[in-house]
Chains A and B, each alone.
Chain A
Amino acid sequence: GAGVSQSPRYKVAKRGQDVALRCDPISGHVSLFWYQQALGQGPEFLTYFQNEAQLDKSGLPSDRFFAERPEGSVSTLKIQRTQQEDSAVYLCASRPLPGQGLVLFRNEQFFGPGTRLTVL
């Protein structure tokens, strides 16, 4: 009964470095989301995948941010040339399609513990 897992849990990067954050969604979940949570703020949407297709990337803050999910399961969020303002917790969530899982929560997104990125 594994939930959504993310790795690493903590990442410290020097400004200008590239980083890659991994998300393992719940098995069988076709929808996958990435959110960015700055300190003291609520999560903000970054991008959405249905299977391997990236259907919405309107929340990505710049072209330094890139996400992929090549086989429709594991996803990677990559940030190139990190800046201090990229410091945040990056959350991944997965969701079963409507009709799967408990009816009451069929639209529920299940969140991972997040990766805390600190850019020095």
Chain B
Amino acid sequence: GDSVTQMEGPVTLSEEAFLTINCTYTATGYPSLFWYVQYPGEGLQLLLKATKADDKGSNKGFEATYRKETTSFHLEKGSVQVSDSAVYFCALTVMNTGFQKLVFGTGTRLLVSP
């Protein structure tokens, strides 16, 4: 079945450090890929997305590139801030479900200290 695997956390970084959160996927169809973020006490928010191979999604300084050959969609940011502390979820939808279902990874908690 379709699944998403992302690195376990927590990831602890100092402010201005470089961030990578790894995400790989397994899908029977051709998925769209997403990163969602969940700040403390808030709902899930879409951070970025990519719908086809080699697409790069970007938002708020975060980037992720859809790599079909390695079935990966790693999240990166060049310089993290304390306000980036949150839980990050990698997710996919596949065309054969009509984009109806999101399949999520288990989430990676990021803690950024001043």
Give the B-binding residues of A (Cβ under 8 A). 3-4, 31, 33, 35, 40-45, 48, 55-56, 59, 91, 93, 105, 107-109, 111-114
Complex contacts, B41 vs chain A, CB 8 Å: 113
- A42-B43 in contact given A48-B100, A56-B100 (Cβ < 8 Å): no
A45, closest chain B residue (CB): B101
Using A31-B100, A45-B102, A109-B102 as known contacts, list a sample of 18 further A-B pairs with CB atoms less than 8 Å apart, ordered by residue number in A. Answer: A33-B101, A33-B102, A40-B106, A40-B107, A41-B107, A42-B91, A42-B104, A42-B106, A43-B102, A43-B104, A48-B101, A55-B100, A56-B100, A93-B44, A107-B93, A111-B44, A113-B43, A114-B43
Give the A-binding residues of B (Cβ under 8 A). 4, 32, 36, 41-46, 49, 89, 91, 93, 99-107
B51, closest chain A residue (CB): A107
A6, closest chain B residue (CB): B43
| Contact status A44-B104, CB under 8 Å | yes
| Contact status A42-B45, CB under 8 Å | no
| Contact status B89-A105, CB under 8 Å | no
